[in-house]
Amino acid sequence: MNYPEHPAEHIAHTVDKAVFLRQLSQFLKVENIVSAPEAMRPYDCDGMSAYQVLPWLVVLPETIEQAQEVLRLCHQHGVPVVARGAGTGLSGGALPVANGVLLSLAKFTRILAIDPDNRSARVQPGVRNLAISEAAAPFSLYYAPDPSSQIACTIGGNVAENAGGVHCLKYGLTVHNLLALKLLTVEGELITLGGAGLDCAGYDLLAVLTGSEGLLGVIVEITLKLLPLPETASTLLAVFADIEQAGEAVTAIIGAGLLPAGLEMMDNLAIRAAEAFVHAGYPVEAAALVLCEMDGMAEQVAADLAKAQAILLTNGATEVRLAQNEAGRKKFWAGRKSAFPAVGRLSPDYYCMDGTIPRRRLAEVLRGIAALSEEFGLAVANVFHAGDGNLHPLILYDANQPGELVRAEAFGSQILQLCVAAGGTITGEHGVGMEKINQMCVQFSSAELRQFHALKAAFDPCGLLNPGKAIPSLPRCAEYGALHVHHGHTPHPELDRF
Partner 1 sequence: MSIMVTHRTPNSTGFEAMIKSDSDASVLLRERVLAAIADQTSVDIVGNGSKAFYGRPTQGEPLSVTEHRGIINYEPTELVITARCGTRLADIEAVLAEHEQMLAFEPPHFGSDATLGGAVATGLSGPRRPYAGAVRDVVLGTKLLNGHGEILKFGGEVMKNVAGFDVSRLMVGALGTLGVVLDVSMKVLPQPEADITLIFAMTTDTALLQMNRWAGQNWPISAACFDGEAVRIRLSGAETAIAAAQLKLGGDMLPDNKAASFWADVREQRLGFFQGETTLWRLSLASATAQPNLPGTWFIDWGGALRWLKSDQPVETIFQAAHVRGGYACRFRSPLGGEFQPLSKGLWRLHRNIKLAFDPHGIFNVGRLYEGW
Q: Is 141 in the site for partner 1 (CB under 8 A)?
A: yes
Closest CA to 311 of 236, 376, 385, 383: 236
Q: DSSP of 425-449, one letter per residue?
A: BS-SSS--TTTTTTTHHHHS-HHHH
Residue range at the interface with partner 1 (CB under 8 A); choices 39-47, 326-334, 384-392, 399-407? 384-392
Q: How far, in Å, CA of 157 to CA of 108, rounded?
A: 12
By DSSP bridging, strand 81-84 and strand 101-104 are parallel
Give Cα separations from 437 to 98, 391, 401, 431, 476 (angstroms). Answer: 18, 19, 25, 10, 9
CB of 477 to partner 1, least distance (A): 13
Residues 6+ apart with CB under 8 A from 372: 380, 411, 414, 415, 418
Gyration radius (Cα) of the chain, Å: 23
Q: Is 479 in the site for partner 1 (CB under 8 A)?
A: no
Residue range at the interface with partner 1 (CB under 8 A); choices 1-9, 342-350, 376-384, 443-451? 443-451
Residues 6+ apart with CB under 8 A from 77: 13, 15, 20
DSSP 3-state assignment of 262? strand
From candidates 9, 69, 293, 388, binder to partner 1 by CB under 8 A: 388
Q: How far, in Å, CA of 237 to CA of 257, rounded?
A: 19
CB of 98 to partner 1, least distance (A): 25
Residue range at the interface with partner 1 (CB under 8 A); choices 339-347, 365-373, 394-402, 424-432? 424-432
CB nearer to partner 1: give 394 or 470.
Answer: 470
Residues of span 244-303 touching partner 1 by CB under 8 A: 251-252, 254-255, 257-259, 296-300, 302-303
The residue count for binding partner 1 (CB under 8 A) is 98
CB of 150 to partner 1, least distance (A): 17
CB of 252 to partner 1, least distance (A): 8
From candidates 32, 120, 417, 473, binder to partner 1 by CB under 8 A: 120
CB nearer to partner 1: give 12 or 447.
Answer: 447
Residues of span 146-175 touching partner 1 by CB under 8 A: 161-162, 164, 168-169, 172-173, 175
CB nearer to partner 1: give 255 or 377.
Answer: 255
Residues 6+ apart with CB under 8 A from 400: 348
Residues of span 189-218 touching partner 1 by CB under 8 A: 189-193, 195-205, 207-208, 210-212, 215-216
17 near 98, Cβ under 8 Å? Answer: no
DSSP 3-state assignment of 379? coil
Residues of span 9-38 touching partner 1 by CB under 8 A: none
Q: Is 426 in the site for partner 1 (CB under 8 A)?
A: yes
Q: Is 185 in the site for partner 1 (CB under 8 A)?
A: yes
Residues of span 334-363 touching partner 1 by CB under 8 A: 356-360
Closest CA to 105 of 151, 66, 47, 74: 66
